[in-house]
Structure 1
Amino acid sequence: MSSAVLFVVGSGVQLDSARRVVTHLVRPAQALNIWDGSVGPLAEVKLPGHMAPVTVDRLSSVSKATAAWAKANPGGVLVTPQDVGLVYRRAIAAARRKRIKIAFLPDGAVSGGKVTGRSMLGGLVPVADAMLRGVGFVAGRHGEMGACRPELALSWGPAWSPVFADRGAELIIESGNPRSDDLANIEPPHAGRILLCSQPMDHAAIGGPVAATKWYEFVERIALSAPEGDFAVRLHPAEADAFDALPIGAATKKHITAGTELSEDIAWSGALVSWASTTMMEAAGAGRAVVSLAVNDAAAEMARGYFFQRDPRVVSALTDAVPDFAALSALVVAARASQEGLADDYLVNIGSAAKTAAAALDEL
């Protein structure tokens, strides 16, 4: 019998990708729910929120669950969406101790470091992180995607692969993003229509609540100046969870999509604008122009932590330079003229990514 696979999941995106891959997987598979440390069928997993906070109890339960599963499944594979978050690093360390192989199934854009609102590169944190690594409490290295040297990295495309190679991945398969399989055979872009994928902006490093207020003010003025039927706003899951507490304007609220999948919103659009969202790559894969918008220079610099944002084909601007929908449309026109080949570099195998990832896991 083939050795088993354990998917580590803590968000809806991670669970969705895992479920897509499992439909093509020969090996038996289960999920480790990092919210409660339970192991069970992927079909039965329920997640109470977008991101599980790091707690001592959560670190302990995930470690114990991983170790117990590894003991019962020698020769198995732990599939994790990243090795930057502390809970994921704890699970990887527990699996490593039991000689379980590690595979990456990325849940988002790969960055050169940890792109976060919490600054953890100064003070005692690097020292504490080194101590935790030294005693085997966590795997990898803070802020370095792929530093645990996975046996398999399932890259979304050739532009993402160098970071895995540089950090010692034994095998890199350019499988694509399973979630993007829904974009296969999508209808052509609708000229004039712009989808704005919003993101939380309360990062201390870019201004905290001040930056968040500035972002929603920008979205509001775009909503107020957009022609009827040409503008839509898709909220990030974390924004949806905190909707009532956010300073979202009345006009913006009228343009928020509800009950739709990302692929449906992209299909409606002709272009996608955001700050530093994975959705930009998925839109590019569907032939849509993409534009990166930042509320200030600090936010623009943080966005450039992602390799995709550094690509000269990606058009970027500060929100202060975009007074209305017409100005945003002009940026879209410029982006459309410069972005040939983005999908080939950043998002391969649209329509067969889940199948390709499953085949790689079965062969590991």
Structure 2
Amino acid sequence: MESTLDEDRTDPSYRAWLKDAVRRVQADANRSADTHLLSFPLPEEWGVDLYLKDESTHPTGSLKHRLARSLFLYGLCNGWIRPGRPVIEASSGSTAVSEAHFAQLIGVPFIAVMPRTTSCEKVGLIEFHGGRCHLVDDPRTVYEVSARLAAETGGHYMDQFTYAERATDWRGNNNIAESVYQQLRLERFPEPAWIVATAGTGGTSATIARYVHYMQYDTRICVADPQNSVFFDGWRSGDAGLCCETGSRIEGIGRPRMEPSFVPGAIDRMMKVPDAASVAAVRALEGTLGRKAGGSTGTGLWAAFRIVAEMRRRGERGSVVSLICDPGDRYLDKYYSDEWVAAQGLDLEPYAEVIRDFLKTGEWSG
């Protein structure tokens, strides 16, 4: 008779630490209110209402707070995040700010691997939350550098670009999609015709699109993609191996490769948005609502404006939802700096004129 093989790796001190870490992350959600759904002022007679889900009001100031919480719970419950060992992330900034917050919350070190062009404000926020920034010259190397640092330190490479779509509960649990529909319940068009998202990992668009299909809504999903990103071309061609040589100027979105968390089949439409249009749109947002937002907000807003104009032209009524992804005070030296705009060779005026004409007439001349 063969003897029974048995191995027990349970460490009571680790299990106690794990329970406390999960409690701390869940408590962060429990004491956080939902984010606002703002109404963008358009003439009521147009018959199309535009809303902006303001994710900049999260405790760490961006849409990525939701993702970071989900990634930490996923890593903790999988046994990947361990006491005293660093968490490492490849990021263009906002995810790293939020992950630094959660790392500090549970008492583990955090290292953000980011392009050297990341805004100084984001670097400062990561360091404020106790994180350390590892800057690289070539944005395409953030993945391999992150994996190497994890191997060298015995830490965990979070890898948001792989795990974003699987760590988030897309069926509900007050995810961003469920929140939008709850907040639209009393509006004149409670089921939006379109929701516009932008893609960094692709996790947000995947969550929203899956929720829409799961709940059997007729809402369509549009993803707006900036220059120097392969998502649009990969979605159109079906080529999951596409890459490009240059990193995105619009921080937080656009990638030089097709990321594993980007789910093309769930999306109804994609729109390629020039960087100058993104900057012009985010400046128009400030002029209309008095709020500064990051460049990714402008990318989505440009696409939302165009969709509203198309609906008007076809005589359709309904609502459109886009996102305020993060606050503009992180980008004062970029999208709100005329010197930076000039140095990048961006001409904002033709796009600003399209927006002015749209807000005045409802027609799209771009």
TM norm structure 1: 0.30
For normalisation by structure 2, the TM-score amounts to 0.30
